[in-house]
Amino acid sequence: IETDPELDRQIQEYHKTANVTGGDHSTPWCSSFANWCLTQAGYSDIATHDPAAFSWNAGEWKNGEEVDKPFYGAIAVMEYSHVGFIYGKNSRGNIIILGGNQGLCRTGKSNCISIRGNPLSKIRYIMKPKGYVIPDKDFELQDFDINNPAPTYEDTH
Protein backbone atom coordinates (compact mmCIF):
# COMPACT_ATOMS: atom_id res chain seq x y z
CA ILE A 1 0.00 0.00 0.00
CA GLU A 2 1.05 3.57 -0.60
CA THR A 3 2.09 4.24 2.97
CA ASP A 4 4.64 1.40 2.85
CA PRO A 5 8.04 3.12 2.54
CA GLU A 6 9.00 1.06 -0.50
CA LEU A 7 5.89 1.99 -2.52
CA ASP A 8 6.02 5.58 -1.29
CA ARG A 9 9.56 5.85 -2.71
CA GLN A 10 8.37 4.29 -5.96
CA ILE A 11 5.46 6.75 -6.16
CA GLN A 12 8.03 9.55 -6.04
CA GLU A 13 9.60 7.94 -9.14
CA TYR A 14 6.18 7.77 -10.83
CA HIS A 15 5.71 11.48 -10.14
CA LYS A 16 9.01 12.35 -11.81
CA THR A 17 7.60 11.06 -15.13
CA ALA A 18 4.68 13.48 -14.72
CA ASN A 19 6.83 16.49 -13.79
CA VAL A 20 5.71 16.49 -10.16
CA THR A 21 8.46 17.65 -7.83
CA GLY A 22 8.37 16.61 -4.20
CA GLY A 23 5.25 14.48 -4.65
CA ASP A 24 4.63 11.34 -2.65
CA HIS A 25 1.60 9.16 -1.88
CA SER A 26 -0.31 12.17 -0.52
CA THR A 27 -0.40 13.64 -4.06
CA PRO A 28 -2.86 11.84 -6.41
CA TRP A 29 -0.70 9.48 -8.45
CA CYS A 30 -2.85 7.53 -10.94
CA SER A 31 -1.68 9.62 -13.91
CA SER A 32 1.91 9.53 -12.70
CA PHE A 33 1.67 5.72 -12.60
CA ALA A 34 0.30 5.65 -16.17
CA ASN A 35 3.11 7.95 -17.34
CA TRP A 36 5.69 5.76 -15.62
CA CYS A 37 4.27 2.61 -17.25
CA LEU A 38 4.49 4.14 -20.72
CA THR A 39 8.01 5.36 -19.98
CA GLN A 40 9.09 1.90 -18.78
CA ALA A 41 7.65 0.36 -21.94
CA GLY A 42 9.74 2.73 -24.10
CA TYR A 43 6.93 5.14 -24.95
CA SER A 44 8.04 8.18 -22.97
CA ASP A 45 7.73 10.31 -26.11
CA ILE A 46 3.94 9.77 -26.26
CA ALA A 47 3.11 9.96 -22.52
CA THR A 48 1.31 13.06 -21.22
CA HIS A 49 3.96 13.84 -18.56
CA ASP A 50 1.10 15.47 -16.66
CA PRO A 51 -0.15 14.48 -13.17
CA ALA A 52 -3.83 15.10 -14.01
CA ALA A 53 -5.99 12.10 -14.91
CA PHE A 54 -7.87 14.19 -17.44
CA SER A 55 -4.60 14.88 -19.29
CA TRP A 56 -5.31 11.51 -20.95
CA ASN A 57 -8.66 12.77 -22.36
CA ALA A 58 -9.52 13.05 -26.01
CA GLY A 59 -8.50 16.57 -26.99
CA GLU A 60 -5.96 16.85 -24.15
CA TRP A 61 -3.59 13.95 -24.87
CA LYS A 62 -1.93 15.17 -28.08
CA ASN A 63 -0.45 11.72 -28.77
CA GLY A 64 -3.67 9.83 -28.13
CA GLU A 65 -6.99 9.20 -29.77
CA GLU A 66 -10.33 7.97 -28.52
CA VAL A 67 -11.80 4.59 -29.41
CA ASP A 68 -15.37 3.45 -28.90
CA LYS A 69 -14.80 -0.03 -27.52
CA PRO A 70 -12.71 -1.36 -24.60
CA PHE A 71 -9.65 -3.43 -25.44
CA TYR A 72 -6.81 -4.99 -23.47
CA GLY A 73 -4.22 -2.34 -22.61
CA ALA A 74 -6.35 0.68 -23.48
CA ILE A 75 -6.09 3.72 -21.25
CA ALA A 76 -9.39 4.29 -19.47
CA VAL A 77 -10.23 7.75 -18.14
CA MET A 78 -13.01 7.61 -15.58
CA GLU A 79 -15.59 10.34 -15.17
CA TYR A 80 -14.46 10.87 -11.57
CA SER A 81 -10.91 11.95 -12.54
CA HIS A 82 -9.01 8.66 -12.44
CA VAL A 83 -6.97 6.84 -15.09
CA GLY A 84 -5.78 3.26 -15.52
CA PHE A 85 -5.30 0.46 -18.03
CA ILE A 86 -8.03 -1.90 -19.22
CA TYR A 87 -7.11 -5.39 -18.11
CA GLY A 88 -10.25 -7.50 -18.61
CA LYS A 89 -13.88 -7.81 -17.52
CA ASN A 90 -15.83 -9.56 -14.78
CA SER A 91 -19.07 -11.53 -14.47
CA ARG A 92 -21.03 -8.33 -13.78
CA GLY A 93 -19.89 -6.91 -17.11
CA ASN A 94 -17.62 -4.39 -15.42
CA ILE A 95 -14.31 -3.47 -16.98
CA ILE A 96 -11.28 -4.47 -14.90
CA ILE A 97 -8.87 -1.56 -14.53
CA LEU A 98 -5.21 -1.91 -13.57
CA GLY A 99 -4.18 1.33 -11.94
CA GLY A 100 -2.25 3.12 -9.28
CA ASN A 101 -3.84 5.09 -6.46
CA GLN A 102 -6.85 2.77 -6.28
CA GLY A 103 -8.52 2.18 -2.92
CA LEU A 104 -9.70 -0.88 -1.00
CA CYS A 105 -6.22 -2.15 -0.31
CA ARG A 106 -5.03 -4.09 2.74
CA THR A 107 -5.71 -1.49 5.38
CA GLY A 108 -7.83 1.56 5.94
CA LYS A 109 -8.12 4.15 3.23
CA SER A 110 -4.65 3.70 1.80
CA ASN A 111 -4.42 3.18 -1.93
CA CYS A 112 -2.24 0.84 -3.95
CA ILE A 113 -1.62 -0.58 -7.39
CA SER A 114 -4.50 -2.95 -8.00
CA ILE A 115 -7.09 -4.26 -10.42
CA ARG A 116 -10.72 -3.30 -9.82
CA GLY A 117 -14.01 -3.67 -11.64
CA ASN A 118 -15.50 -0.49 -13.03
CA PRO A 119 -18.85 -0.06 -14.81
CA LEU A 120 -18.35 0.85 -18.46
CA SER A 121 -20.78 3.73 -17.86
CA LYS A 122 -18.21 5.33 -15.50
CA ILE A 123 -15.49 5.31 -18.17
CA ARG A 124 -15.53 8.67 -19.92
CA TYR A 125 -12.83 7.97 -22.51
CA ILE A 126 -11.15 4.86 -23.88
CA MET A 127 -7.86 5.96 -25.38
CA LYS A 128 -4.96 4.56 -27.40
CA PRO A 129 -1.79 6.05 -28.82
CA LYS A 130 -2.32 7.73 -32.20
CA GLY A 131 -1.71 5.35 -35.05
CA TYR A 132 -1.71 2.24 -32.85
CA VAL A 133 -3.49 -0.58 -34.66
CA ILE A 134 -5.47 -2.65 -32.17
CA PRO A 135 -5.21 -6.40 -32.80
CA ASP A 136 -8.68 -7.97 -33.05
CA LYS A 137 -7.84 -10.40 -30.24
CA ASP A 138 -7.36 -7.49 -27.80
CA PHE A 139 -11.09 -6.67 -28.00
CA GLU A 140 -11.80 -10.12 -26.50
CA LEU A 141 -11.35 -9.18 -22.85
CA GLN A 142 -10.47 -12.00 -20.49
CA ASP A 143 -12.98 -12.78 -17.72
CA PHE A 144 -11.82 -12.44 -14.11
CA ASP A 145 -13.62 -13.35 -10.90
CA ILE A 146 -13.16 -9.88 -9.44
CA ASN A 147 -16.38 -8.39 -8.12
CA ASN A 148 -15.22 -5.82 -5.61
CA PRO A 149 -17.01 -2.48 -5.25
CA ALA A 150 -16.43 -0.05 -8.12
CA PRO A 151 -13.90 2.70 -7.40
CA THR A 152 -15.08 6.21 -6.60
CA TYR A 153 -13.54 9.65 -6.54
CA GLU A 154 -13.04 9.33 -2.79
CA ASP A 155 -10.97 6.15 -2.96
CA THR A 156 -8.81 7.20 -5.91
CA HIS A 157 -7.67 10.56 -4.51
97-130 per-position pLDDT tens digit: 999 998 766 655 678 888 888 999 999 999 999 9
What was the pLDDT predicted at 147? 72
Are the C-beta atoms of 92 and 147 separated by less than 8 Å? yes
pLDDT digits (tens, 9 = 90+) for 123-152: 999 999 999 999 999 999 999 988 776 666
At residue 153, does pLDDT exceed 70? no
Are the C-beta atoms of 79 and 123 separated by less than 8 Å? yes
Give the whole-number percent of the chain exceeding pLDDT 70. Answer: 90
Instruction: Kindly report the pTM of this predicted structure.
Output: 0.91
**Neighbouring residues of 121: CB distance < 8 A, sequence distance ≥ 6:** none
What was the pLDDT predicted at 151? 67
Mean per-residue pLDDT, 37-42: 95
Are the C-beta atoms of 96 and 144 separated by less than 8 Å? yes
What was the pLDDT predicted at 21? 87
What is the Cα–Cα distance from 148 to 157, expressed in whole angstroms? 18
